[in-house]
Amino acid sequence: MNAPAPSNPLLSAWDTPHQIPPFDLIRAEHFDPALALAMEAHRHEIEAIASNPEAPSFANTVAALDRSGRQLARVSGVFWNLASSETSPELQEVERTWAPRFAAHHSALFLNERLFRRVAAVHEGRAGLGPEERRLVERTFLDFELAGAALPAPERARLAQIQEELATLCTSFSQNVLADEASVEILLEGEGALAGLPPFLVSAARAAAEERGRPGQALITLSRSLVVPFLTYSERRDLREKAFRAWTRRGELTEGRENGPLIRKILGLRQELARLLGARSYADYALRDTMAGTQEAVRSLLERVWGPARRRAAEELAMLQEEAAAQGQRGPIEPWDWRYYAEKVRARRFQIEDAEVKPYLELGRMTRALFAVAERLFGLTIRERQGLALYHPDVAAYEVLDRASGRFLGLFLADNFARPTKRGGAWMNVFREQSKGPEGEVRPIVVNNNNFARGGAGEPTLLSIDDLRTMFHEFGHGLHGLLSDVTYGRLAGTNVLRDFVELPSQLLEHWALRPEVLAEHARHIETGAPMPAALVERLRAAMTFNQGFDSVEYTASALVDLAIHGRPDAGELDPLAFEREELERLGMPPQIVMRHRLPHFLHLFSGSDYAAAYYVYLWAAVLDHDAFEAFLDAGDIFHEPTAARLRAVIYSRGNGADPAALFREFRGRDPDPTPMLRNRGLL
């Protein structure tokens, strides 16, 4: 490998505002040498800790380990964000090369026998440490245990091989899905191709065509922000079917990049990993470090929702079938019909259509609404920062400050629009995590990625209700990172248990459709008039409509995830046949499909974070609905003492304490699932 050029911006000091990466100078070719150098520097830091002749202590072992790898984190933070948000063939090649190298580096760290002995010695004597220090020791020791540090040398070596192979396979899986999403285009041409589509969707379809070099045309891509409204409004049943089939077959559309064989290999390697670490199945292994703890606890919650969700969906189906018959459709409702007729029923029952609502939900105004909620709840000032060189023209930057002290808390980047170079979905990530230490306080740089359909040239971008909730959701994650106030990076922000991490995000969603928020910020794009109170009330009355459908498509995905990762023979299965058979066993309504089918289930197969853990959104829903009840009990959704406690206990503490203890500290008791079931209309 060639020595890094001195001009490599990834290796230079970043003399930029808030030390933001110098995106305008960074090129794909800079990453290979920069990652190599940063990874080698981290190896030297680890070796110095492992070979320290002094007796192991918190300071010279666990705290030193937490401080190590800052240069690698800086470079890799830029790389992994760009690989998902603004990729290119060159970046994808770097990703294919470096994914297994990162896995090998991770394994070398956590399977280092000398380092583990030092960590174990500090863990043994942790009783005299302060609460945050003790928590860091316990989490670090558990990281080593779950990575297999206590195993004999041959098993440790095999674990390292498995992690490298998984990294390569998961990268291929993710890139295959992105390739399908980027390449499939459904042209809307010919008579009636635009029939039923509201102006905002026609505008978005024309913008998507122009972005793909087809000016003057209109097309639908496999971006959720285009497909879902198309399925909701298009009167062309044949085009709805075409779009639906392509959308639900991402990851298996193109010969040579089908994800079925990759899934089977991933499952087999995960099962081998679980056996090496003493677990019967990968689900048993993955759930060790969660609030739920066991498959039984997860299944109990999912099944508590599954039965009522299916019953509600059956009631909804009867309404849709009646509506379809009234409109002259013969035969049963098909999956590509559900959203179309659900919108008809919703419009008739609640006098609501997205086309009526969306003119009040312009992206700029809704961004201000989002920030206003956060500012009022958490005592913040959020102001746009102009003049920064960012990685794409779509991205906007905002400084987040504590209003009382004026202290800078972090930099927030908003990347809202779908494009071919960005993977689908919505997510929060960090370029830099918060920490404190001898070098001073490090404040975070957080990014939210959404995939909203851009308005046409010169036209505003209008959000759906789902888009609005997504924006609040991701900013909830963002605030979890921005408000972090811990000493150690390992405990900062969203580095919490998987079934707790969605609490701050899902909780913020509750403010998105509150009358107090909409009355102030939802203004018509043409008249400037506020959203009528009667429309707000109809929106809120309709919140439980179609919840059977929503709950079935989500819960089916979580149940299939748990079932396939809970099989000791997972690697021997045909995953697509298993998906069909498991859904049949569950009694999945044929008119509904899983929210994420296995061939494009990025949560499960682009990495391991949500493998056997897609249930976490439902687990966190119990927490977030109960937490919001605290504000309702106080009679004010901005109740200052409750909001202050929320910031101090939930959003700022990171992984500094057991999450169950944090929830009890905030709520005064253990969580109650009743508010969640009631609010979803499932009681």
Instruction: Report the catalytic residues.
Output: 474
HSE of 537, CA atoms in CB hemisphere, 13 A: 3
In whole angstroms, what is the distance from residue 636 CA to residue 514 CA?
A: 11
Q: Strands, E, within 488-531: which ranges?
A: none
Answer yes or no: are the C-beta atoms of 69 and 42 closer than 8 Å. yes
Q: Which two tokens stand for residue 400?
A: 């987040």
Q: How many helices (H) and strands (E) does the chain have?
A: 27, 7
Number of neighbouring beta carbons within 10 Å of residue 405: 9
Answer yes or no: are the C-beta atoms of 36 and 459 closer than 8 Å. no
Bridge-partner residues for 380, per DSSP? 402
Answer yes or no: are the C-beta atoms of 471 and 635 closer than 8 Å. no
Q: Which two tokens stand for residue 271?
A: 């099962």
Answer yes or no: are the C-beta atoms of 150 and 167 closer than 8 Å. no
In whole angstroms, what is the distance from residue 655 CA to residue 347 CA?
A: 44
Q: How far is CA 656 from CA 308, 428, 432, 496, in A?
A: 37, 20, 18, 9
In whole angstroms, what is the distance from residue 512 CA to residue 472 CA?
A: 7
Q: How far is CA 474 from CA 313, 463, 495, 504, 603, in A?
A: 28, 15, 15, 9, 16
HSE of 191, CA atoms in CB hemisphere, 13 A: 0
Dihedral over Cα of 418, 358, 338, 185: its sign: negative
Residue with tokens 């110098």: 22
In whole angstroms, what is the distance from residue 285 CA to residue 308 CA?
A: 30
In whole angstroms, what is the distance from residue 503 CA to residue 169 CA?
A: 30
N-terminal to C-terminal alpha carbon distance within the chain:
62
Closest by alpha carbon to 636, among 628, 645, 626, 647?
628
Structural element, H or E, at residue 412: strand 408-417
Helix (H, G, I), strand (E, B) or coil at 583: helix
